[in-house]
Chains A and B, each alone.
Chain A
Amino acid sequence: MSSPNHAPTSGFMRLRQEGRTEEVVRRMIEVIDLGLFAEGEQLPSESELALQFGVATVTLREALAVLRQRGLIATRRGRNGGSFVCAPIEVPQALLLERLERMSTMELRDLGDEQLAISGTAARLAARRSTAEHHARLLHHVEALGVANTRQQRRRADAHFHIEIAVAAQSVRLTNAEMRLQAEIGELLWIESGTAPDVAAIQQEHCSILDALVAGDANLAGALAEAHVTRGVKRLINLRLELLAAEGGSD
């Protein structure tokens, strides 16, 4: 806060906070979620993984330590030792609520704004660029949401549905952006409270988006995807406000 003249630009000039380690952690989580590694499967050696991610071995070790701490991988010593992918564990609801409570309304709205841009555009482009094969995969994810038994399975079917739309849009950038957004907001969207989230209603929204894609109606697909994102974010903002109210005027 030296010179007020410099203050306004400094925020934008600052490099992104996410370091190489966090990036590797996030990619690893995505990769496990996509099914690149099976539960119980031994991960490649540290040097091999470092090569695959294009990072130094030190960075990779740090990332593995974070993953171990979060219970995503386990490391066994000795002969036949190494790192193994653990069965996916559901993040406890209390932890998710804590995460949500720490976020500001502004932050949530801004996250929603970004997702609006990404998911809306992806749906618009997918309406023009998707084929029957994409529609079949999307239908599979819609059905998977209907039969999912756990919060984890529902979140995964939901995330895969949105990522697949970006894939159908033929855009690597939109796909990467959607994957990152799903990692940031996906778990929060499936926090259970009262009657929300209404799985049947969300599945119906997915169905309508898919119908618009099949019909090749870009404007409708875009509008439906945007409305879908907006409803999700609104639900999160309401939930967070309720958390604040329940907490009372403690701070």
Chain B
Amino acid sequence: MTGIDRRVFSLKVREVNVVSAPMGPDSPQGCSQIIKVSIEAIFARLQSLADEVRRFWEAREEAQCRPVSRDLAQLRPRIDALLLQTESCVGAGVVLQPGTLADRQLYMEWRRQVGEGKLLSLSLNLDESSANCFHYQDKPWFRVPRDHGTCTVAGPYVDLYCTGVYALTFSLPIVANGRFIGVAGVDLPMRDFERQLARHLMRLPQEALLVSAEGRVVASNTADWTVGDLVGRLPADPGCTVLSLGEQAANWSLICLPESGSLAA
């Protein structure tokens, strides 16, 4: 275990070329670096799916034909592979910008894991004339990549529609010929992901929280702050050290609390 972590860590030290501050996994810098690398690895896999969709799309457009929903079925093996390769992933797929396809207004090619290695397509109500239509355009995992062109992590949130559990959705934009055509995403249940993150945080000597861009605790090494809490103005407290994981890690940050732990909620 330690051996593997050290390898990842030393690799990253060379990459970011940090020469000063001690960067062991038991330092805030080292810890945030390890977490940053694992988040970036998820996005790197998603990007390769997005690239494949882009190539497929551009080839179609070059042939002067507008893709239809049926065409997306070809992506299934690729999506399934991504789902099965991503640790503890329960859902993955591509969700299209309304009006992009020739035959359907809203469409998604989303696969979910229903049993050990058993994958099924998620069927949601995407009929706009229906009162219960699932309008995904408003969901943060769709809206943020569309409006800002960046990758994002939505949640943690109670996912009623796909996983039925407390989960995170990682997503990034798919751009073909300079035009936004949709997002590629994966669902990761917090149950497994928090365990990995908390393990990293436990190596720190001080109390620390991993916080999403919207200020929600994703993992912590103290019971005073738990998953799902909002940190509010805590990052502005002069006693706290805030390390941003950067845009490529969805602007998550590591907040180290003062030694006393007196700021507990």
Task: Confirm or deny: B228 has a beta carbon within 8 angstroms of a beta carbon on chain A.
Answer: yes
> Which residues of chain B are near A51, meaning CB under 8 Å?
114-115, 118, 120
In this complex, what residue of B is CB-closest to A42? B123
B8–chain A nearest beta-carbon distance, Å: 31
Report yes or no: A35 in contact with B166, Cβ–Cβ below 8 A: no
Select which of A39, A131, A156 is within 8 A of B130 by beta carbon: A39
Report yes or no: A33 in contact with B132, Cβ–Cβ below 8 A: yes
A26–chain B nearest beta-carbon distance, Å: 14
Task: Confirm or deny: A83 has a beta carbon within 8 angstroms of a beta carbon on chain B.
Answer: no
| Docked pose: A48 CA to B132 CA in angstroms | 22
| Docked pose: A52 CA to B91 CA in angstroms | 13
For residues 28 through 59 of chain A, which have their beta carbon under 8 Å from a beta carbon of chain B?
32-41, 44, 48, 51-52, 54
| Docked pose: A163 CA to B126 CA in angstroms | 21
For residues 190 through 220 of chain B, which have their beta carbon under 8 Å from a beta carbon of chain A?
214, 216
Task: Confirm or deny: B230 has a beta carbon within 8 angstroms of a beta carbon on chain A.
Answer: yes
A34–chain B nearest beta-carbon distance, Å: 6
Report yes or no: A34 in contact with B132, Cβ–Cβ below 8 A: yes
Number of residues of chain B lying within 8 A (CB) of chain A: 29
| Docked pose: A36 CA to B126 CA in angstroms | 9
Q: Known: A35-B130, A131-B230. Is A170-B157 also a contact (CB below 8 A)?
A: yes
Report yes or no: A35 in contact with B125, Cβ–Cβ below 8 A: yes
In this complex, what residue of B is CB-closest to A39? B130
| Docked pose: A40 CA to B165 CA in angstroms | 28
| Docked pose: A41 CA to B127 CA in angstroms | 9
Task: Confirm or deny: A172 has a beta carbon within 8 angstroms of a beta carbon on chain B.
Answer: yes
Report yes or no: A36 in contact with B158, Cβ–Cβ below 8 A: no
> Which residues of chain A are near B140, meaning CB under 8 Å?
133
A218–chain B nearest beta-carbon distance, Å: 12
| Docked pose: A178 CA to B131 CA in angstroms | 21
Report yes or no: B160 in contact with A129, Cβ–Cβ below 8 A: no
Report yes or no: A52 in contact with B160, Cβ–Cβ below 8 A: no
Q: Mark A69-113, 1 if CB is under 8 A from B, else 0.
A: 000000000000000000000000000000000000000000000
In this complex, what residue of A is CB-closest to B165? A172
Q: Decide if the interface of chain A is mainly helix, strand, loop or mixed.
A: helix
| Docked pose: A163 CA to B159 CA in angstroms | 12
A217–chain B nearest beta-carbon distance, Å: 14
Q: Known: A34-B160, A41-B125, A129-B230. Is A153-B131 also a contact (CB below 8 A)?
A: yes
In this complex, what residue of B is CB-closest to A40? B127
Task: Confirm or deny: A171 has a beta carbon within 8 angstroms of a beta carbon on chain B.
Answer: yes
> Which residues of chain B are near A175, meaning CB under 8 Å?
158, 160
Task: Confirm or deny: B180 has a beta carbon within 8 angstroms of a beta carbon on chain A.
Answer: no
B192–chain A nearest beta-carbon distance, Å: 15
Task: Confirm or deny: A128 has a beta carbon within 8 angstroms of a beta carbon on chain B.
Answer: yes
Task: Confirm or deny: B124 has a beta carbon within 8 angstroms of a beta carbon on chain A.
Answer: yes
> Which residues of chain A are near B56, meaning CB under 8 Å?
none
Task: Confirm or deny: A63 has a beta carbon within 8 angstroms of a beta carbon on chain B.
Answer: no
Q: Known: A37-B123, A44-B120. Is A170-B228 also a contact (CB below 8 A)?
A: yes
> Which residues of chain A are near B166, meaning CB under 8 Å?
170, 172
| Docked pose: A44 CA to B166 CA in angstroms | 25
Report yes or no: A170 in contact with B132, Cβ–Cβ below 8 A: no
> Which residues of chain B are near A171, meaning CB under 8 Å?
158, 228
Task: Confirm or deny: B93 has a beta carbon within 8 angstroms of a beta carbon on chain A.
Answer: no
For residues 134 through 158 of chain A, which have their beta carbon under 8 Å from a beta carbon of chain B?
153, 156
Q: Mark A174-197, 1 if CB is under 8 A from B, else 0.
A: 010000000000000000000000
| Docked pose: A54 CA to B116 CA in angstroms | 12
Q: Could you jot down 11 A-B contacts, CB within 8 Å?
A: A36-B124, A36-B125, A38-B132, A39-B127, A40-B127, A44-B123, A133-B140, A156-B131, A167-B157, A172-B164, A175-B160
Besides A40-B127, A133-B140, A170-B228, 9 other CB < 8 A contacts? A32-B132, A35-B132, A51-B118, A51-B120, A52-B120, A54-B115, A129-B229, A131-B214, A170-B166
**Interface residues of A, Cβ cutoff 8 Å to B:** 32-41, 44, 48, 51-52, 54, 128-129, 131, 133, 153, 156, 163, 166-167, 170-172, 175
